[in-house]
Structures are given as structure tokens and as C-alpha cells.
Structure 1
Amino acid sequence: MLQRGETTLAEQVLSLSYGQAFVAPERRHHRSSMSVRIAEGNALSAKGASALISDSTWRNAIAKQAGDLSVRSFLADYYSTPDHWDVKNSATRVLRALNSWSYSQSGHIEGGSYVSSLSAMVYRGREAHLFHMGDTLVFRLRGAEFEQLTRDHVTDLGGYRYPSRALGLDGSLDIDYVRMPLKQGDLFLFTTRAVRGTLMPSDYVQLIRSDVSDLDAACERLAEAAQLRAAERGYGAEQFCFQLVRIDRLPAEQVDHPGRLYGDLPVPSELGVGDRLDGMEVQAVLSRTAHARVYRMRDLRSDREMVMKAPSPELSSRNAYLEHFLLQQWVVERVNSPFVARVVEPSRPRRYLYYLMGFIGGETLTEWARRHPQASLDQRLDIARQLAQAVQALHRRDVLHQQIHPDNILVDPHGQVVLADFGACHLREGDGHKKARELARQIGLSEHSAPEYALDTDVGRRSDQYSLASTIYWLLTGAVPYAQAPHQLRSHTGLEQMTYRSARTRNPEVSAELDDALRRALDPQRSLRFRRLSEFLYLLRDPRQATRSASGSPARREPASFWQGIAGILLLLLVLSWLLK
């Protein structure tokens, strides 16, 4: 199983080889999983290559699923993180998310769990990054030196040794992290705790060095020797798995940061109609803001029309914004939805910092509403549902949009809705999204922004839900739901004074159920909105469900007149009780 992965981008070359062997008794289910992934092209420079091994306890009824899941999920999610994130940030976020999911799912399973030990090593540039949980084993063979890189995290219970600090064992995860320089010829061995008590360090060195040109054969020798030694010492039938990774060639120099892959490119200067850049000609200037420029471009080779977005020239030295610009590109590249603008690859190598999107021959939702004042309720609701699916696609990638309003929504001649502006998008984080809120303020709030953006409180998916519902309310009624603009609030007392204006009073075609769904999604208190956007989308499809689900919804604030009436009745009953004594 000898494979190589290499790239020649900017003289940054990394080449790896690997081999594997797996031996297990037929009467037992496999409980271990291992894999190597070598990225290609720019991804190898930005994300590197990965090698993993996972192992679960044999008493686990779903041990094989637990091991396979942890390996597959890490590889899928790690290579989907933004290119400008460093290795530690990307891998740690992925592992913590995987741990949370595994821990929550284990509570619903009888006779098993998704707990597993995991060791993952990422090779990028001239360095290796090791992430370790539990009791899997990683060794390094450099010359004649054989060194264990991981620590055994185990707990003795009733004479049995169980892995501790493993993936999915607890709601919080403690990850061992080691960063180390690489040398050409380094060999890394991945195996499981089953090998304990079989092979000595000298055995490993001898068996691997017997014929280091064939890593599969070296792994087979290790597995056979471990199995023979276990039988000689009377050990029960065990499974053995070995994975070897060899560093064949290192890059000429270390890449400082994945984002530098594009961040080192210069920002385009101010462009006008007729100007040319990288084989494209400017057809129109669509937008000029303090942060970015948006142009409609035509590829001179293919005659294809595209939209180019580039940072504003005066911000060329602001690295913080450039990092966010790279995040915007990642959103366009990774979010796969027909309702979200898609990235277009340039026909020539890029010499400047920008990204391209497919050109949508349509108009903004503001323009559409102005030109279609007689549009039916069904037409408007169809647009609302498409927009909700666009926001849902972003949330699946843990992205907050933060700028949902009619001018950022395009409608093509066929009625297809596309969400196209990502200037304020931000990834969800665990700090109450303070950075996300500050970015939204910097870009600029609108009358559709949720109240929490003005009040320095936590923002999140329900903040996007508010902006979505406000935009839909505007689409159905031509007005906004509150007399006081939420983004102009100065204190929390203002929330209590916000009174929802029923959509039915402005558009009688809106059903009571749909109005109730909008009112809940637009609640000034973030905690009282729908827990999930899918609930709101469901009610947009079938508003009649709003009445049926009301009993399971959070308590809502009733008008003051309602409580005054209740108080009056109680007072009357009290007076009558006195009179009847």
C-alpha cells in the first residue's frame, strides 16, 4: 500500500509514504480503525497530510462504529475548515465538536457507546502536529532512536484497564498536543494498546529496518511477531493493527501560515469599466464600500460573466480584514446550496487577492418588490422559503450571516433566490460571538438587525433568525415589525417597550398562524425565538402547524391589558368572598 503525495507549488514539496497491516480474530468484531490522507495541490500546503488511529474497548457493542466514525469524521471535517486557520486551531475545533456529538449520542445507546481512543498526526510543511486522547500509541523512529510520543491515559477498575480522557467519554475534552520538527527519513508508527506486553523497542527497530523500502511488509512483520509473542505468553486472542508513515521529502522552507497562500497576493487597485485584470475585463462597478469592491467581470478567453469581490485598496495593510476576507472566500467555496452564491475558479492563475462568484442576472429583493407590487402571497412565501433554506445552509457550516436584508438578496428572472453578500459572515464560537457582533457593527447594522447587536449581548443563530423573519415580514407587508428600530436601542429596558405590529393589520392575506410564527421568530428576547431555524421553516411551509405546536413553545409575553383583566377578576372575587362572609 505504498502511496505518495507531493506538490510543487512555490517550491513547497512534501512527500510521504505509508503502509498498514491489520490482524484480528474472526470471532471478535474489529474495534480499531486507521487511515492516512495526503491532500493535493494547495490543500497540501494549507492543511498538510494526516495519519490517524482509533481504538475502542472490546466490551463495546458498537466498537467498530465508534472507531470508524472518529477517523472518518476527523478527516472530513479537518479538511473542510478555513484555509487561513492554523493546524492546531482547525484540529482542536474539529475534535471538540466530534467529542460533543459522540458524548451526546452515547446516552441514547444500550450496550455500547461512541467512546474511543484517538491519535491524529498532521504533517504540514516541515512540522508535525500530534493530537492524542486515550491510550492509542504513536512512536517515532529516527535513526536508531525509538521514542514513544504519546502518553497512556488509563484507569484501573476491578482489575481491568480502561482508557481515560478518551473521545466521547466526557462532555469536555482534554487533548494532548505536541508540535515537533520533522526530518527527512523520520518514521512514525501508529498502533493500539493490544501490543503492550508483546514487542520490545529493539523488536520494533529490527523488524522495521529489515526492509524499510516496503512499509506494508514492515507492518505485516510487526503484526505477525506481535501475534506470535502473544501466543507464546498465553495472552488471549487479540487484534493487532500497525500503521507506518515515512517522511520522504520535506519542503524547501516552512510556510508561516496557511492564509499566506492567498494573503501574500496584492490587493487590486481601484478598477473602472474597461480595465483588465488577470485576463478579465470590468463590465460594471456593482459596489464600492469602505471594505470591499464588487465588479461584474467578463473572462476574455471564455466570454463568461462573473462577479469579482476584492478588498478595498485603502485596506491593503489591514491584515485582520484580509483574514476575514479569506473567510468569506471559504464560505462561498464550502457552502453547497442552490440558494447561496457559488465560487468560480479563474481561468488563469491569480496574481491579486480576490475571489470570483457566478454572475446572477437578476435584481435585489428590494427592486423585485418594487416591480411586483401585485405579487401574490404564495409568490412571496416561495421567496421566503428559499431564503430560509439559504440561511439554513450557512448554519449547517456553523456560519452566521449577520447581514440578512433585502439588498443582500438576489432574485433571478425565474424566481430563484440567491444570498450573495458575506461581508459580515463569521464562524460560530464559544465566546458569545463577541467578535462576530463587533464585525457586524463595523460593517453596519440595518433595520432588520436583531436587538442584541445594539445591546452588547450574545449573538448567534437566533440573531440570523430574527433578521430572516424581519425580512420576510417586510416582504409580506412592506413595513417593519416594530415602530422602534431594534438596531437603535440604547438599553435593555427598550426591549420591554417593543410591541409587535401584527402582519395581518397590513396584509389581511397573512393567516393568523403565519402571523404567530413571525411574531415568535421576531421576539425581542433572543431566548424566546425558535430553538432551531428548521422549526420556523416548517411553519413557513405549513403555517397551520403553528397552533398545534404552541403548547410546546416557550412562554410568551402577553399584552399588559390581559394581565390587568386577570388582576381585575381576582380583585372582584376577593371582594365577593368578603361580602358573603
Structure 2
Amino acid sequence: METLTLAPVDPQSRILSAVEDNAIDALKAANGLQISAGQYSDQGVKGSNEDAIGIQIPSGLILTTKGAVAAISDGVSTAEAGAAASAISVSNFVADYYSTPDLWSVQKSSTQVLTALNRWLYGLGQDYRDARRGYVCTFSALVFKSCHLHMFHVGDSRVYRYRQGVLEKLSHDHTSFVGKRQYLTRALGLDVKVDVDYKTLPVAAGDMYLLITDGVHDVVSDVDIEALLHRYKQQIEHTNADGDSNSISAINCDQFCRALVDKAIAAGSQDNASCQLLHIDALPIKNIDEVYQSLSKLPFPPPLSVGMTLDGYKVVDVLHQSQRSQVYLVKDVAGGLMCMKTPSVNYLDDAAYIERFLLESWVGNRINSPNVVSIIDRDCEKSALYYLTEYLAGQSITQWIKCNPTPEVQQVLELLKQIESGVRAFHRKETLHQDLKPDNVLLTGDGRVKIIDFGSCYIKGIAEITTPLQRDVILGTADYSAPESVLGYRITQKADLYSMAVIAFEMLTGQLPFGGNQQQCKTLQDFLRLKYTPSYEINPLVPIWMDKALKKALSIAPEQRQADSCEWIFEMTHPVTIWQESTKKSPLIDREPLLFWQSLTVAFALLALLLALF
């Protein structure tokens, strides 16, 4: 088949258009990644070309949030549908990768796409008696995002990096020998599950990354490839001194790919030969002043009072004021009520604060759940920095707890299910809320739960973007924050799970767990000294099996909690399973972690003393 080319060979049309997002100047300010790329494929001595290659380098916001992609695939020769498999893999990977949520990390986006691709190819191959004769292909892809490279590899195509005159192979061939014949041990479409190698590395300006199929590396040695790259690198540096570095570099990349493929065919390659070369021309800017200028395009609005108007929105009430922000109840010209959040003038010259404020509305627009407050995105231009959300008439869970000192357990469970549903919407977008507390959960008049406030969110996809800003580490309220968050350890979705369990305990008992002493904890030893009082001792209506699920979610060590919020809410609502588990005596380290470590320390001390004496 013909080689699939997603990126035009013409360097002038290599950069694709992208939809700009006006609400995300903070991210675009950090965007300075420039890549030149070239690719070439030849069927060689074979009657058809079963390789597929594709490069996509978008511009604007998409380049910042998703990055640039290069993919190469080789249809397995023994597979009758190998050519179709390679074409499907490259085209669908590139298209589907850019269709994944902006909030996802590169690893999650790519893994999800590759898992689906592999299952599709494997399913198509079931029409063949032997899966190896169906839709099977190798696959290697590079995603360049900000200042990092993400590599995904399965099969025997290869990925190299050329840096400062040295060629290094980044991939590992998934092959084995049976007698004198070499076989693939891993490939897309070979089995219902596929193990794809993943690696992330920092990139540097001037790096060159090479992707080649076995039709090239089987006959051209690494030494010869390195020598050819060195010669072309010198040409790039020489010509860039006199002209447009990007276009000249791109042309040289195309020339190199053709030269390497021609060299492989001349050396007697018996397979299709394909090559891709990407040159890192520039990396994102590091100048804090440039970033601040981009962030401060809109002025901070002054403090507003009832009766004042901003962009046609009249202030009806002041709902919240703090050192960091203000929230107003406003009414538009049609009489509709909504909430307006504005930044505090205390942070007028704080670029990191402005970036985080801008990200709040951007994240909110991408969290789609009936249990999360909705951002109101209007097309009209703004004269100042603010964003709008739906207005929710009702009460916070803090107020609900005061009004319901002895609630029905089933009523609490119904509310917790909605809270978990909202939190799950964050987690599905690889976003942590990080400030779950009763004040940030609203209950509307018709019984709907809404999670509010995106100011402390951690977004995995955004965290991958390099910026010169020193981003704030926003900690949640001490009483509701997981120990690992307070101690500065790595946080995961289990941190939000812990916060939900604290809220659940308070809703059921009217009190905070651990006697309300958690806010005083500053060290791991402080947390280990906390004493858990079962919820059923405070509220006899709470079943013992439900308290087991609560206690597990409130474990100091994250690995001892439930796997995720879904598992927790399941345990909170299914007594039989939890009751069976609760009848098993848990180990001492789970029941009394401080006593366990103290006993272990004493035992080691005695052992050391005995060794010293005898």
C-alpha cells in the first residue's frame, strides 16, 4: 500500500491550524516549542509498502496542551493484513490522541488510544485462524510536549536520539530468536492485551530524534547512521547561520530521511524502508517578564459593591470575600442570576496567581458533570479579569450538617453518592480537586449536590507544561486534607478520597474524625498518634460495616485506602461484602500503626544488644 503521510512534506504547510482559546493565555505564554520534521518511505524491493508514517505539529493552544506527534508503524510481513494494520495504527493514533481531553496527561491519552487500537486490530484479526496472520504491526510514537519527550514503543522499529554528536538508541527491540529465525514477541493486534514501553525524557534545543523501521536498521549500522546525522547536523548549523533556521532545517530533515532510506536500499534491504527525523529548533520561553505581559492583558476589576455594574452584569449581593478572591451574585440584562468570581487586587503583580485564576474557568469548562458547578462561557468580550458560574440557590453541606444533627443514614448515603459522582468527574479528567470540604459542596433546593471552587485543582496535563513561573502549592483546609498533602508527599486521587471520607464522617456524626485533632498534625508521627473513634460510637444509627469503609478511607497511608472513590462508595453501600471482610482480624500495622513501629524498634534494639553481648 502507499505510505500514509499525515504531515505534508512541504515545510510551508507543516504547521497545522488550531482553534485558539482566549481563556488560556497563561498556557500559550509558555508555548515556544518549535520543531522541524521530515519523513520518507519506500517500498524497496517489495511489491507494496506495508509501512505507515505520520507527523502532526499543530500550532497555538493545541501545541501547548497536547504537543507534537510523530508515529511510525511496520506491518508484520507474515500477517496478511499487516499493511492495513499499520495504516490504521498511525492514522487513528494521531487523530484520536488529539481528540482526548486537554486535561489528560500524555501518558493517559496515548495509553487509552493504544489500548483501544490494539483491541480493534485484534478483533479484526479474529477472521484469521492464527492471530499472527491478521492485523499485526509494530508501532513507535513520540509526543513532544513542552520541554519533554514521551515515547511509546512496541515491536522492532527503532527510536534514536542524536545529541551533541552522540547517537543513542532509546527503544528496545521486542524480538526473540527461535533457531536462526527472528520473531516478534510484542506487537499491536497480536493479543487482546499489549504491553507498550513508555519513557519520558527531557529534550534540549538542537536534539534530533530518528524513527526507523527494520528495513533500515537491519542493513545500516548505528555507526553509519551517526556519521550521516553528524554530516547533516553540520549542514543545518552552517545554513542556519545565513537564513531561516526553521525552513532550512525542515528541508534538511527531508533530505536526510531520503538519503538514509536510499542508503538502506542500496545496502540490500529486503523490506520496506521508512524514516522520520525531527529537529528541536527551540523550546518554550523562560523569560518571566514575557509570560507576565501575556497574562496581564486584562486588568483586575476593582472591588465591587451592590448596585455597581461590570460589562452589563449588575451586582446584587456580595457572597464571599477573602484575601485571594471575591464572589458576587450578579444579574444580566435579561434578569438572569449568576455568580461572578474576581481576583484579588492583592495579587496584581503575581503572575503565578493570575495563571491559576485563568486556569480555574478553563478547567471548569472541561469538567462536565451534573454534580459540579457549571461555568457560564459567553462570547462577549470582557473588560476585566473574571469568570461566571451558574447561581445555585440552596445551602452548603456545612449548613446542612448544622441543620441535621441526627440525619438518616440513607439520606447521607444519597448525598455522598452525588459527591462521589462529582469527584469522579474530576478524576476522569486527571484532575484533583484538592480542597474538598463541606463549604465547597452545595445542596440545591431540589436535592442536587454541586461541587464548587476550582482554585486548588491539580491538573496532570497542565503540570507537564514547563513554565518559568513558580507555581503555587495550594493546600486545602487542614481538617479535610489528606496526610500526604500536608506532609508534601506525592498526591494521587486517594487524597480526594480521604477528604470525602472526612466529609462523610462529619455528615454522619456532626463531628470531625480523630476528635478534630488533625489540624494540629505537622509530621508523620503526629498523624500516626491520631486515635480513631468509630462513627457508630458517636451515632449509634451508623452500621458497623459502614464504619469499616470509613476507617479504611481515613487510613494515614494512602495505599491502605480503597483503590478509588468508586470502590469506596460501593463499600459504603454494600454491607455483605464489607461485613465479611470485617470479620477477618486486620494485622497490627493496620490496627495500631504507632504501636507496631514502636514494638519493631524495641525488638531491633534488643537484637542489637544481644549481638553486642554474644
TM-score (norm 1): 0.65
Q: How far, CA to CA, are the matches of 1:478 and 1:60 in structure 2?
A: 67
Q: How far, CA to CA, are the matches of 1:394 and 1:260 in structure 2?
A: 31
CA contact (8 A) 1:447 1:487 kept: yes
Structure 1 counterpart of 2:17: 5
Q: How far, CA to CA, are the matches of 1:114 and 1:263 in structure 2?
A: 49
Structure 2 counterpart of 1:486: 518
Structure 2 counterpart of 1:264: 297
How much does 1:493 deviate?
3.5
2:415 to 377, 380, 383: 383
2:54 to 31, 34, 58: 34
Structure 2 counterpart of 1:517: 549
Structure 1 counterpart of 2:393: 361
CA contact (8 A) 1:130 1:178 kept: no
Q: How far, CA to CA, are the matches of 2:416 and 2:363 in structure 1?
A: 22
Structure 2 counterpart of 1:80: 102
Structure 2 counterpart of 1:85: none
Q: How far, CA to CA, are the matches of 2:311 and 2:560 in structure 1?
A: 50
Structure 2 counterpart of 1:291: 324
| Percent identity for Structure 1 against Structure 2 | 23
Q: How far, CA to CA, are the matches of 1:402 and 1:550 in structure 2?
A: 30
Q: How far, CA to CA, are the matches of 2:378 and 2:412 in structure 1?
A: 35
2:70 to 36, 45, 52: 52
CA contact (8 A) 2:316 2:331 kept: yes
- Please list the CA deviations of residues 121-160 of structure 1 after superposition, one character each: whole Å capped at 9, or x if unmatched: 68x9xxx99877776799xxxxxxxxxxx98767788799
Please show how residues 336-351 of structure 1 align to structure 2 within 5 Å.
Answer: 336-351=368-383
Structure 2 counterpart of 1:396: 428
Change (3 A) 1:171 1:131: closer
Query: Counterpart of 2:549 in structure 1: which amino acid?
Result: A
Q: How far, CA to CA, are the matches of 1:334 and 1:113 in structure 2?
A: 36
3-state DSSP of counterpart to 2:363: helix
Query: Counterpart of 2:72 in structure 1: which amino acid?
Result: S
CA contact (8 A) 2:212 2:276 kept: yes
Count of matched residue pairs: 497
Q: How far, CA to CA, are the matches of 1:38 and 1:265 in structure 2?
A: 27
Q: How far, CA to CA, are the matches of 2:195 and 2:394 in structure 1?
A: 51
3-state DSSP of counterpart to 2:497: helix
Structure 2 counterpart of 1:117: 140
Please show how residues 221-370 of structure 1 align to structure 2 within 5 Å.
Answer: 236=270, 238=272, 262-300=295-333, 302-370=334-402
How much does 1:291 deviate?
1.0
How much does 1:340 deviate?
1.4
3-state DSSP of counterpart to 2:571: helix
- The structure whose RCO (Cα within 8 Å, separation 6+) is larger is 2
Structure 2 counterpart of 1:145: none
Structure 2 counterpart of 1:439: 474
Change (3 A) 1:546 1:269: same
Question: Structure 1: which 5+ runs fail to align?
Answer: 83-92, 139-149, 182-187, 202-218, 245-253, 564-581
Query: Counterpart of 1:310 in structure 2: which amino acid?
Result: T
Question: Structure 2: which 5+ runs fail to align?
Answer: 1-5, 23-27, 123-130, 161-166, 189-193, 221-227, 230-253, 279-286, 465-469, 597-614
Greater mean deviation of Cα atoms: 483-492 or 413-422: 483-492
How much does 1:274 deviate?
1.7
Q: How far, CA to CA, are the matches of 1:322 and 1:553 in structure 2?
A: 51
Query: Counterpart of 1:5 in structure 2: which amino acid?
Result: S
3-state DSSP of counterpart to 2:330: strand
Change (3 A) 1:45 1:357: farther
Change (3 A) 1:500 1:320: same
How much does 1:521 deviate?
0.9
Query: Counterpart of 1:80 in structure 2: which amino acid?
Result: D
Greater mean deviation of Cα atoms: 269-278 or 537-546: 537-546
RMSD: 5.9
Greater mean deviation of Cα atoms: 308-317 or 113-122: 113-122
How much does 1:70 deviate?
4.7
Q: How far, CA to CA, are the matches of 1:462 and 1:44 in structure 2?
A: 30
For the pair 1:173 / 2:195, whether they are aligned, the reply is no
Please show how residues 75-114 of structure 1 align to structure 2 within 5 Å.
Answer: 75-77=98-100, 80-81=102-103, 94-95=106-107, 98=110
Change (3 A) 1:538 1:526: same
For the pair 1:466 / 2:515, whether they are aligned, the reply is no
Q: How far, CA to CA, are the matches of 1:176 and 1:437 in structure 2?
A: 23
CA contact (8 A) 1:99 1:173 kept: no
How much does 1:393 deviate?
1.9
3-state DSSP of counterpart to 2:199: coil
TM-score (norm 2): 0.62
Q: How far, CA to CA, are the matches of 2:21 and 2:552 in structure 1?
A: 52
CA contact (8 A) 1:45 1:255 kept: no
Change (3 A) 1:258 1:20: farther
Q: How far, CA to CA, are the matches of 1:116 and 1:176 in structure 2?
A: 22
